[in-house]
Amino acid sequence: MTAVALDGVVKRYGGVTAVDGIDLQVGKGEFLTLLGPSGCGKSTTLQMIAGFVLPSAGRIRIGGRDSTRLPPHRRNVGMVFQNYALFPHMTLADNVAFGLRMRGVAKAERRRRAGEALAVVQLTGLADRYPGQISGGQQQRVALARALVIQPDVLLLDEPFGALDKQLRDRMRIELRDLQRQLGISLIFVTHDQEEALSMSDRIAVLSEGRIRQLGTPDGIYRRPANRFVAEFMGHSNILPARVVEASGDRALVRAGGLLLAVSGRLSAGGDIELMIRPERIGIGPADAGAAIRGRVAGMQYLGASLHYRVVVEGGTELSVVTPDPGEGRRVPGDPVALAIPDGAPFVIGS
Amino acid sequence: MSPDRHPRAEAPDAAPPVRAWARIGRLRAWGLVLPAGVLYAVTFGIPLAMLLGASFARFQGGVTTPGFFLDNYVKIATDGVTLAVFRNTVSLSLLITAVGLACALPVAMLMRRAGPGLRLVAMFVLVSPLLTSIIVRNVAWMLILGRSGMINSWLIDAGLISAPLPLMYNRLGVVIAVVHVYLPFAVLPIYAALRAIDPARERAAASLGAAPWRVFVHVTLPLAAPGLIAAFTLLFILSMGLYLTPVILGGNFVVTLPMMITDAARNQYNWPYASAMSVLLLASIVAVVAVSAVLGRLFAVPRDA
C-alpha cells in the first residue's frame, strides 16, 4: 500500500527546470528521506506534495487519491517547516488544535486531542503557553504535534532540525524516528545532511539537479553508490580511477595508481572504472617491510573520537584514512606507515 | 562590554563603581534627548499650556477676562450645537477611517505580493496626492464629482442615469477626497505589518486544512493587527482635524469641529471658546490614542513570560 506516489513529476520555472521527472513511491509507515545539496529540487518536490507548488507535468497521488491539482487545504497532509511556523498569537494548545478546528471538531474534543498530542511530544503542562515563551526545541515539538494531530496521510518535514544545535538535533532524530515507528506514520523528510538521512530513514532518495540519482536503503546507498555523485555526497570517500588488469567471472584485479586491488563485479580486462574506498575501511599500522601497501603520513586531523589521516602511498596516490583514536601511538606527518585494504572494501562505482 | 553603553545590564553582583557608571550612562542618555526636549517644550508644551489657560477665560461683550471660569465648557455641554458638531466630526472621522482601512487593506496585500517594480509604482501612486497642493486636489475633485462633473456627465451620456447624482456637497464627496489623500497613512503601516508575517505561517495554516479565507481570518489578520491599529489611529487623528476639504467639498452641509473653532477665533474673536473646543478635540484624540495603545497590547504576541 502506498501513501504517496509521484509519477513523472516535473517543475519548471521559466527556463529553469527545478524538478526533472521524479518517480517515487512512499509506502504506508515508511520513513523516506529526500537528500541532496541545496538547489537539487528536494524542497520543491516536498512543496508539490504539500500543494504549495503546482507541478508542470506528472501526477501526484496521496492516500490513493489523485491530488495533483488539489489545493493544500484539501489534502490531508501534515507539514513541519524549518522555522516551525507556529502561530505566535495562539497558545500551544490552540496551535495544535488548529487543524482539528478547521475540520469542524467540537471544542472539548479538540482540547482533549490537542492535550494527547502534546503529551506524545512530551510537552504536557505547557498547553497554555505561547510559542514566544518556549525554546526552539520545544517549538519544534509543537510543530510536530500540530501536524500529527490531524492524522495526515503523510507527514512532510522540510529540514526541520536545521535551526537546532547539534545535541538537540541528535536527540530530536532519535525521538522523531521512535515516534514515527510507534505511530506507524508515513513520512517524507527533506535534508541536505547525509548523517541525518542515514540515521533515520528506511529509504533514501539522493537528488541532484532535479533528478533521483539513487534510491535505496541507507546501507545500500552508503556502501554501493550507483554513481560518483552519490559516492562523494554520502560522506568521505576515496575515489580512484582504475584500470582492469585481469577479469574472471565476477572477480577482477584492478590497478589504481600504484595499488593493485581485488574487486568483485563483472568487468572486462582493459576497461577503465572508478573505485570507491571508504576511509574507515582502510587499516593503518606501523610500517614493516612485509606490508603490501606502504606510504607516508601527509597530514592528520584530530576529530575527537577519530583521527583523519591523509596518506601518500607509493606511486603518489593520496588516500584518506579514518581510524578510532587509539590515544597512544598516533601517527604524525612524515611517519612511514603501512595500509591494509581488506577484501570487499574497494567498490566499483555503479556495479 | 562597556557598562556605560549598557545602562540596564546590571548584574546582581555588580560592584558599586559599575553602578555609578551605569547611572552616569543613564544621565548621558537623557542628555541626548535634551535638544529635542527643549524644542518640544517651547513649541508644543508652552502653547498647549496657554491654550488650556485661555479655555478657562471669560468672554463677554467682546471682552476677554482671564481667570478660572467654566463658562466655555458649560456652553459646549449645553448649547446643543457644539456637541452636535463634535458628534458629527467623530462620526465623519470614523466613516473616513473605516472606508480608508477597507481600501488600504487590499492595496497593502497586493503590495506584499507584488514584485519590487510594481511595489515602487504603487508607492508612488499612493504618495502622489500628498505632493499636490490641497487646493488643487480639492478643486480637481470638484471637477470630477460636481453636478456636471466628469462622473455625472459620463453616466448621463451612457444613459445610465437621467439626473446627476449628488456626489459632493455631502459626506460622500468629503470621504472620497479625504481617503484619496490619507490612503498612504493607512497602507504603509498595514503593509509593514504584513511584510513582517512569515508566509510559512500561512502555509502551515493551509496545510492544516484552512481554506484561503480562513487563513486570512485566523492567521494573516491577527498577525497584521498592530499595523491595522496604527492605521486606524493615524486615520482617525488626521480626520478629526479636517478643515479645508469639508469646507470645499462639503459646502455648508458638512460641518466639523475645526471649522467651528476657526469661526469662533477668526470671525467672533472668541478665543476662549475656540480654546475650549480645541481642548475637547485634543482630549478626544488622546482618548483614541489611549484606546489603541490598550488594543495594541491586547494583540501583541506574547513573549518570554
Q: Residue B251 maps to which CATH number?
A: 1.10.3720.10
Interface subset of B 45-104, CB within 8 angstroms of A: none
Do the Cβ atoms of A133 and B304 come within 8 Å?
Answer: yes
Cell of A100: 482539528
Closest CA to A146 of A83, A89, A100, A82: A100
Closest CA to A64 of A150, A10, A6, A5: A5
Q: How many C-beta atoms surround the C-beta of residue B145 within 10 A?
A: 22
From chain B, the residues in CB contact with A76 under 8 A are 209
Residue B174 is inside which H or E element, if any?
helix B171-195
- Same domain? For B15 and B88 the reply is no
Do the Cβ atoms of B305 and A77 come within 8 Å?
Answer: no
Do the Cβ atoms of A133 and B305 come within 8 Å?
Answer: yes
Residue B62 lies in a domain: no
Residue B138 lies in a domain: yes
How far CA A192 is from CA of A78, A206, B170, B181, in Å, comes to 21, 10, 65, 51
The predicted pLDDT at position A250 comes to 87
The predicted pLDDT at position B16 comes to 61
Query: A246 - beta bridge partners?
Result: A253
- Same domain? For B33 and B121 the reply is no
The predicted pLDDT at position B22 comes to 77
From chain B, the residues in CB contact with A99 under 8 A are 208-209
Residue B111 is inside which H or E element, if any?
helix B81-113
Phi then psi for residue A11, to 5 deg, are -135, 120
Do residues A297 and A311 make contact, with C-beta atoms less than 8 angstroms apart?
Answer: yes
- Same domain? For B144 and B30 the reply is no
How far CA B84 is from CA of B81, B87, B259, in Å, comes to 5, 5, 13
CA distance B207 to B217: 15
* Domain's final residue, options B12, B28, B54: B54
Of B200, B209, B305, Cβ closest to residue A102: B209
- Same domain? For B39 and B180 the reply is no
The tens place of each residue's pLDDT in chain B, 305 residues long, gives 344 444 444 444 545 667 777 777 778 888 888 999 999 999 999 999 999 999 999 998 888 888 899 999 999 999 989 999 999 999 999 999 999 999 999 999 999 999 999 999 999 999 999 998 989 999 999 999 988 899 999 999 998 988 888 988 899 999 999 999 999 999 999 999 999 999 999 999 999 999 999 999 999 999 999 999 999 999 999 999 999 999 989 888 889 999 999 999 999 999 999 999 999 999 999 999 999 999 988 888 877 64
- Same domain? For B124 and B253 the reply is yes
User: Per-residue pLDDT for A333 more than 70?
Assistant: yes
- Cβ burial of B31 (10 Å; 0-12, 13-18, 19+) is exposed
Do the Cβ atoms of B301 and A89 come within 8 Å?
Answer: yes
Do residues B235 and B96 make contact, with C-beta atoms less than 8 angstroms apart?
Answer: yes
Say which DSSP state B301 is in.
P
User: Per-residue pLDDT for A32 more than 80?
Assistant: yes
For an interface test with B, give the residue of A89, A105, A139, A151 to mutate (most B CBs within 10 A): A89
Do residues A267 and A255 make contact, with C-beta atoms less than 8 angstroms apart?
Answer: no
Do the Cβ atoms of B208 and A98 come within 8 Å?
Answer: yes
Do the Cβ atoms of B208 and A52 come within 8 Å?
Answer: no
Q: How many CB pairs under 8 A join A and B?
A: 86
Do residues A30 and A202 make contact, with C-beta atoms less than 8 angstroms apart?
Answer: yes
Total residue count of chain A as it appears in this document? 351
Per-residue pLDDT averaged across A298-315, rounded? 91
Q: What is the gyration radius of the CA atoms in chain B, in angstroms?
A: 25
- Same domain? For B140 and B102 the reply is yes
Residue B305 lies in a domain: no
Of A78, A86, A132, Cβ closest to residue B207: A78
Contacts of B259 (CB under 8 A, 6+ apart): B85, B243, B246, B247
Sign of CA dihedral B253, B259, B265, B267: negative
The predicted pLDDT at position A270 comes to 86
A98 touching B (Cβ < 8 Å): yes
Residue B303 lies in a domain: no
Closest CA to A283 of A325, A323, A336: A323
The predicted pLDDT at position A267 comes to 86
Residue B65 lies in a domain: no
Do the Cβ atoms of A102 and B200 come within 8 Å?
Answer: no
The predicted pLDDT at position B305 comes to 47
Domain range for residue B41?
3-54
- Same domain? For B75 and B36 the reply is no
Residue B304 lies in a domain: no
- Same domain? For B162 and B20 the reply is no
A148 touching B (Cβ < 8 Å): no
CA distance B303 to chain A (A): 4
Do residues B299 and B229 make contact, with C-beta atoms less than 8 angstroms apart?
Answer: yes
Give the residue from chain A lying closest to B200, CA to CA: A85
Answer yes or no: is the ipTM higher than 0.90. no
B298 touching A (Cβ < 8 Å): no
Do the Cβ atoms of B223 and A77 come within 8 Å?
Answer: no
Residue B195 lies in a domain: yes
- Same domain? For B215 and B279 the reply is yes
Residue B252 lies in a domain: yes
CA distance B106 to B186: 11
Cell of B225: 493587527
Do the Cβ atoms of B198 and A89 come within 8 Å?
Answer: no
Do the Cβ atoms of B207 and A89 come within 8 Å?
Answer: no
Phi then psi for residue A12, to 5 deg, are -115, 135
CA distance B174 to B89: 12
CA distance A190 to A22: 15
The predicted pLDDT at position B6 comes to 46
Interface subset of A 29-68, CB within 8 angstroms of B: 50-52
pLDDT per position as a tens digit, A49-73 = 999 999 999 999 999 899 999 999 9
Q: How many C-beta atoms surround the C-beta of residue A89 within 10 A?
A: 20
- Same domain? For B148 and B262 the reply is yes
Do residues A155 and A177 make contact, with C-beta atoms less than 8 angstroms apart?
Answer: no
B213 touching A (Cβ < 8 Å): no
- In chain B, the number of structural domains is 2
pTM for the complete prediction? 0.82
The rounded Cα A343 to chain-centroid distance in angstroms is: 27
Cell 598516533, residue located = A330
- Same domain? For B131 and B32 the reply is no
- Same domain? For B151 and B275 the reply is yes
